[in-house]
Amino acid sequence: MKIEQVGPYLWRIPPDAKPGMRVPGLVLADASLMAQIRRDASLEQVANAATLPGIVKASFAMPDIHQGYGLPVGGVVATDIETGVVSPGGVGYDINCGVRLLRTDLQAKDALPRLGQLVDALYQAIPAGVGSRGRVKLSPADERRLVERGAGWAVEHGFGEAPDLLRIESNGRLEGVDPEAVSPKAYERGKHQLGTLGSGNHFLEIQAVEELYDQRAAEVLGLFAGQVTVMIHTGSRGMGHQVCTDYLRRLEGALRKFDIQLPDRQLACAPLGSPEATDYLGAMRAAANFAFANRQCLAHFTREIFARVFGVGPAALGMALVYDVAHNIAKDEEHEVEGKRRHLLVHRKGATRAFPPGHPELVDAYRAIGQPVLIPGDMGRYSYVLVGTEGSMRETFGSTCHGAGRLMSRTAAVKAARGRHIARELESKGILARATGRDALEEEMPEAYKDVREVVEVVERFGISKKVARLKPIGVIKG
């Protein structure tokens, strides 16, 4: 793929690199990360996305980019509301896969004596793994109400507290849901999975705040050195997967209907305003709301376990939600492009919204510091808390990275881990890990991922987000 370096942390795929490109591809990376990115087909996918009708400015890729379905994981594409399209491949199968961070008043040194008990209790209480079933029972009426209300449904049913909703992206609820656009099979797959972690790269992690970079922002977020935090990473489970499956099939037919020519059918799309696009967006928002409710329930169960293990209530432990962000989603937003305000549909697939201080969509608590950005790394090293900056609005439609990004496929990771004992290796570093799946720890071993520190350094130096804190894992629950 033809690509040229145009800055210390910016690479450009020119529009003539591939027939049909309407805009350039722009990749954020340093030389070391670019060498890793070149190993798979993700740059080809960046160029393919640049052929989408109505795409604006560029097809973007974050430094944690790796090959995905249609759009690469780590891709950002904005299309014009009047002339553009929506692409399910630009959102992904795990709709609103995202991250939630809880803070506590606990010091890690005081929690370590009970860490084993805490990890075991969480492992027993949090359903994890492929096909895991939750303890929240949903009737068909419940499910339809849930996909309309999102995290608010969970709070209304006793899973958490109303103030939680003020610290969730979009307050934990997307509007514009169409419950009828969700197939019976998607509802069936979702009805037993509320309050479950799932498998793959999903996790619940007990962490310690290892380093602070911005004391003021940390104080606003309620973070301090040595503190115990909990990070939860999961999404919409089987419901979101089925919604994506249903609409990829339907939108492949829309390519013929609307005579849209694309180099990759995995980017199947439909013009905004068409019945196909309207139905997909209604169903995608429903699945996104399921994911917000799912993480809300998991956070509630986590608070219960902490209270039981430490023998005091969550309030006495200072357990509170810091923030909850979405990684795989398409959202209606206004952005300035070439000096004009434009109404766009921004697809973020493996990318995080990073709005700057003062942005009107920010919750009041964080308007002075910018949107919190939660960046999980791998279970053997560290994760980060960032905040959004004005630079993200100028450069990347208010977006930044979402994690470390895979270096190895899961199959390759299992092969590379043969003969090793990953749980024992983690324990030697002070990290207790529990996993349901036979190969879960091997698939997710630290070497399977890029070093998230390098990814975070690029987005900070490029100016689209700013470091606040680094978090070290001490206990991990995997599917």
**Tens digits of residue pLDDT in 106-122:** 999 999 999 999 999 99
DSSP 422-463: HHHHHHHTT-EEEESSTTHHHHT-GGGB--HHHHHHHHHHHT
Q: Report whether pLDDT(21) > 80.
A: yes
Q: Report whether pLDDT(479) > 80.
A: no
Q: Report whether pLDDT(129) > 80.
A: no
Per-residue pLDDT at 199: 84
Residue 424, class by beta-carbon neighbours within 10 Å (0-12 exposed, 13-18 middle, 19+ buried)? exposed
The active-site residue, picked from 300, 335, 347, 402, is 402
Q: Which CATH number fits domain 4-478: 3.30.920.30, 3.90.1860.10, 3.40.50.410, 3.30.70.1560?
A: 3.90.1860.10
Contact between 354 and 389 under an 8 Å Cβ cutoff? The reply is: yes
Cα 101 to Cα 206: distance, rounded to the nearest angstrom? 10
Taking residues 466-473, report their average pLDDT: 98
Contact between 120 and 474 under an 8 Å Cβ cutoff? The reply is: no
Ramachandran angles phi, psi of 142, nearest 5°: -60, -45
pLDDT tier, 82 (very low <50, low <70, confident <90, very high otherwise): very high
In tens, the pLDDT along 8-18 reads: 999 999 999 99
Q: Report whether pLDDT(438) > 90.
A: no
pLDDT tier, 127 (very low <50, low <70, confident <90, very high otherwise): confident
Taking residues 148-177, report their average pLDDT: 97
DSSP 146-195: HHHHTHHHHHHTTSS-GGGGGGSGGGG--S---GGGS-HHHHHHHTT-TT
Per-residue pLDDT at 12: 98
Which one, of 401, 349, 400, lies nearest residue 92 by Cα? 349
| Tokens representing residue 357 in the block | 């201080």
Taking residues 355-360, report their average pLDDT: 96
Taking residues 97-101, report their average pLDDT: 98
Contact between 209 and 226 under an 8 Å Cβ cutoff? The reply is: yes
Per-residue pLDDT at 134: 79
If you search the block for the tokens 């068909």, which residue do you land on?
A: 140
Length of the chain: 479
Residue 229, SS3? strand
Contact between 105 and 445 under an 8 Å Cβ cutoff? The reply is: no
Per-residue pLDDT at 320: 97
Taking residues 276-302, report their average pLDDT: 98
pLDDT tier, 165 (very low <50, low <70, confident <90, very high otherwise): very high
Q: How far is CA 205 from the centre of its chain?
A: 15
pLDDT tier, 100 (very low <50, low <70, confident <90, very high otherwise): very high
Which one, of 99, 102, 100, 98, lies nearest residue 303 by Cα? 102
pLDDT tier, 363 (very low <50, low <70, confident <90, very high otherwise): confident
Q: Report whether pLDDT(218) > 80.
A: yes
Per-residue pLDDT at 33: 96
Per-residue pLDDT at 135: 81
Q: Picking from 267-271, 427-431, 438-442, which range would have the lowest pLDDT averaged per residue?
A: 438-442
Q: Any catalytic annotation for residue 241?
A: no
Cα 375 to Cα 385: distance, rounded to the nearest angstrom? 6
| Tokens representing residue 306 in the block | 């902490």
Q: Report whether pLDDT(131) > 80.
A: no
Per-residue pLDDT at 87: 98
Contacts of 169 (CB under 8 A, 6+ apart): 98, 323, 324, 325, 326, 353, 371
Distances (CA, A) of 312 to 125, 316, 318, 362, 392: 18, 6, 10, 33, 42
How would you classify the pairing of strands 399-400 and 25-28?
A: unpaired
Record the pTM.
Answer: 0.97
Per-residue pLDDT at 436: 83
Per-residue pLDDT at 208: 98
Per-residue pLDDT at 137: 87
In tens, the pLDDT along 199-209 reads: 888 999 999 99
- 328-341 exposure pattern, b = at least 16 Cβ within 10 A, e = fewer: bbbbebebeeeeee
Contact between 382 and 473 under an 8 Å Cβ cutoff? The reply is: yes
Domain ranges in the chain are 4-478
Contact between 405 and 449 under an 8 Å Cβ cutoff? The reply is: yes
Per-residue pLDDT at 439: 83
